[in-house]
Amino acid sequence: MISPWASAWTRPAVWLHGDLHPANLVFTPTGSLAAVIDFGDLTAGDPATDLATAWLTFDAPGRRNFRAELERRQGVDSATWDRARGWALVIASAVVEQAGTESAFGRAGVGVLQQVLLD
């Protein structure tokens, strides 16, 4: 469940891609990440913004692996994951509002909403 009381990010702002979703990721034929593209929304702030990609990009097993790896490498705490989940909810809601549910983009937004609610 998303905590409405997740603690705010109080540490210094970090660089953010600002628009981290599957269309801005390039993968090798074997599925490894090769590049992140489109830095038009580059900004600084709470890393939870970019971590919303956990729901925008991965299925449930992939999300678990992504989370475990970031926790291992960078010590991402549960409050940051709560905020990231909230960002995924906001982003997917905006997609569905703008695209509807009939387009491929809108259906992708609905899928993200379903994943956010299942976690």
pLDDT digits (tens, 9 = 90+) for 48-66: 999 999 999 999 999 999 9
Check pLDDT > 90 for residue 108: yes
Contact call for residues 51 and 86 (beta carbons, < 8 A): no
Q: What is the mean pLDDT of residues 14-20?
A: 93
Structural domain boundaries in the chain: 14-118
For residue 52, the model assigns a pLDDT of 96
> 51-61 burial string, b = 16+ CB within 10 Å, else e?
bbbbbbbbeee
State residue 109's pLDDT score. Answer: 94
Of the pLDDT bands very low, low, confident and very high (cuts 50, 70, 90), residue 29 is very high
Confidence of residue 93 (pLDDT cuts 50, 70, 90): very high
What CATH number does the domain located at 14-118 have? 3.90.1200.10
SS3 113: helix
Listed in sequence order, the DSSP H helices in 12-77 are 48-51, 53-57, 60-74
